[in-house]
Amino acid sequence: MTERIVLAYSGGLDTSVAIGWIGEATGAEVIAVAVDVGQGGESLETIRQRALGCGAVEAYVADASDEFADEYCMPTLKANALYQGHYPLVSAISRPVIVKHLVKAAREFGATTVAHGCTGKGNDQVRFEVGIQTLGPDLKCIAPVRDLALTRDKAIAFAEEKGLPIETTKKNPYSIDQNVWGRAVETGYLEDIWNAPTKDIYDYTATPEFPPAPDEVTISFEAGVPVAIDGVRVTPLQAIKELNRRAGAQGVGRIDVVEDRLVGIKSREIYEAPGAMALITAHKHLEDITVEREQARFKATVGQRWAELVYDGQWFSPLKRSLDAFIEDTQKYVSGDIRMTLHGGQAIVNGRRSDTSLYDFDLATYDTGDTFDQSMARGFIELWGMSAKVASGRDIRVAGK
């Protein structure tokens, strides 16, 4: 029986050429796998037909947009996950769901190898291959660009020679990856980190310099998940899309950062994540009134480590699974409403309410009705500073000898 290879297929030039390139290099049949994670653009049927037209023997397509929103974006939101404090893991969280469908397709079609279009310089090769090793440890992995010398100029020449049903261009200044959680842009003139991004690279966000009138929105959460916007019930996918639209119109969610890649180099990235950043902002503010102080402090550390694990391709790791359990426990009371104004590139919270809030007005107020017993403060301070006071006395005593 002829060997079969499953290929993560986007419908673009590189992966379209990779179908025939892999076949010629290995003698294997190629099954193209396309997964919709809310990236927009062409229909799955159009992509499926193109894969078959480029020589795939089978084409597996999956609409995973709701799955992606529910099972990947929502855990990211609950963790308030921002890699290095900036990046909402746009590409990093889409790879595990694609891996899941790659392995599923490999089982369905009897493939022994999984292929992806990543280079040897980026993070995604790790995310794909570690995920595949975890979910399908018997499967082999190849990367045509990295392992089979498929460069862009060779891809264009191959496509023209074979008459493949795709558009080819010798100059595309950017590398772009997008899904419903956001959009990532890199390479080209952006690699000079002194160059400011130009307006043409943005698609999910309007320029914040000339915004429309402020847009006030109320987001309702239940157990850390957005369930309504301005009182209208929504699914997680609908919540992200609606805030992509409204926050994007105000220029919210533009991120320009130099980040530390897993492979040891620094890389300049431009991100657009209007819905993600608006939701994370709202979620953080709701946690401020519903999560106990020490739990919240520790959760910030857990969320940072969670983001690092996911960025580094460890979505399916035991540690990430354990951190998930802790984060999920913290979300028990994260229910309520957050009101925020979207305007001029900012999402500013100006109201919060919750039936499970830890905020006690009578304890917090300085006006009549204050129930806080201030007489307790003196003794509390004495005890709180006792350890440092004793140590300071020791230091003075020893220094005087």
**pLDDT tens per residue across span 69-118:** 999 999 999 999 999 999 999 999 999 999 999 999 999 999 999 999 88
Q: 73, 279 in Cβ contact below 8 A? A: no
How large is the C-alpha radius of gyration of the chain?
25
Q: Of 48, 50, 95, 246, which is the active-site residue? A: 95
Q: Give me the CATH topology for the region 176-291+333-353.
A: Argininosuccinate synthetase, chain A, domain 2 (3.90.1260)
What percent of the chain is modeled with pLDDT above 70? 99
Helix axes 152-162, 13-26, angle to 10 degrees: 80
The separation between CA 69 and the C-alpha centre of its own chain, rounded to angstroms, equals 10
Predicted local confidence at residue 298, as pLDDT: 98
Tell me which DSSP letter residue 29 carries. E
Q: Which of 4, 14, 91, 246 is catalytic?
A: 14
Q: Which of 269, 202, 204, 14 is nearest to 116 (CA)?
A: 14
Per-residue pLDDT tens over the stretch 286-333 = 999 999 999 999 999 999 999 999 999 999 999 999 999 999 999 999
**3-class secondary structure, 72:** helix
Buried/exposed code over 31-61 (b: 16+ C-beta within 10 A; e: otherwise): bbbbbbbbbeeeeeeebbebbeebbbbbbbb
3-state secondary structure of 38: coil
> How far is the C-alpha of 227 from the C-alpha of 220, rounded, in Å?
6
Q: How many CB atoms are located within 10 Å of the residue 104 CB?
A: 16
The pTM assigned to this predicted structure is 0.94
Tell me the residue length of the chain: 401
Give me the amino acid identity at 132: I
Longest Cα separation, the chain: 90
Question: Whose CA is closest to 238, among 92, 80, 66?
Answer: 66
Query: Catalytic one among 63, 70, 175, 215?
Result: 175
**Is 172 a residue whose pLDDT tops 70?**
no
In the sheet that holds 58-63, the strands lie side by side as: 58-63, 29-36, 4-8, 113-115, 140-142
Quick: pLDDT tens for 328-376: 999 999 999 999 999 999 999 999 999 999 999 999 999 988 999 999 9
How do the domains of the chain map onto residue ranges?
A: 4-172, 176-291+333-353, 367-399
Q: Are 231 and 339 in contact (CB under 8 A)?
A: no
Q: Is 175 a catalytic residue?
A: yes
Whether the per-residue pLDDT at 168 is higher than 80: the answer is no
Task: Respond yes or no: is residue 360 known to be catalytic.
Answer: no
Look at residue 167 in the predicted model and tell me its pLDDT. 72
Catalytic residue among 10, 36, 50, 124: 124
Model pLDDT, residue 121: 86
Is 373 catalytic? The answer is no
Residue 173, helix vs strand vs coil: coil
Mean pLDDT value across residues 162-181: 80
Asked if pLDDT for residue 400 goes beyond 90, the answer is: no
95 is catalytic: yes
For the chain, how far is it from start to end, CA to CA, in angstroms?
A: 87
CA dist 236 and 31 (Å) reads 31
Domain 4-172: give its CATH superfamily. HUPs (3.40.50.620)
Lowest-confidence region among 9-13, 53-57, 65-69: 9-13
